[in-house]
Amino acid sequence: MRFLDVTLAHNVEPYERVDQVLQEAIAAGATLVKPSQLADWGGYSRYFADPDGHL
């Protein structure tokens, strides 16, 4: 996966919604890049790429 100069963030609460958003993205053609994990700053995140490779 290469960085294509564009990233988008989608912030949601509660943490469980993060997993739901990922499943919706995968159903629409996204690819999982980084699995869910608690971040050092206290958040919960995961990363996916759209069909064009944008993170």
pLDDT in tens, 19-48: 888 899 999 999 999 888 888 888 888 888
Assign 3 a pLDDT band (cuts: 50, 70, 90).
low
CATH number for the domain harbouring residue 48: 3.10.180.10
Domain of residue 5: give its range. Answer: 1-55
Domain count, the chain: 1
Helices (H) and strands (E) in the chain, counts: 1, 2
Length of the chain: 55
* Phi–psi pair at 18, nearest 5 degrees: -60, -45
Q: Would the pTM of this model clear 0.75, i.e. be above it?
A: no
The rounded distance, in Å, linking the Cα atoms of 21 and 2 is 22
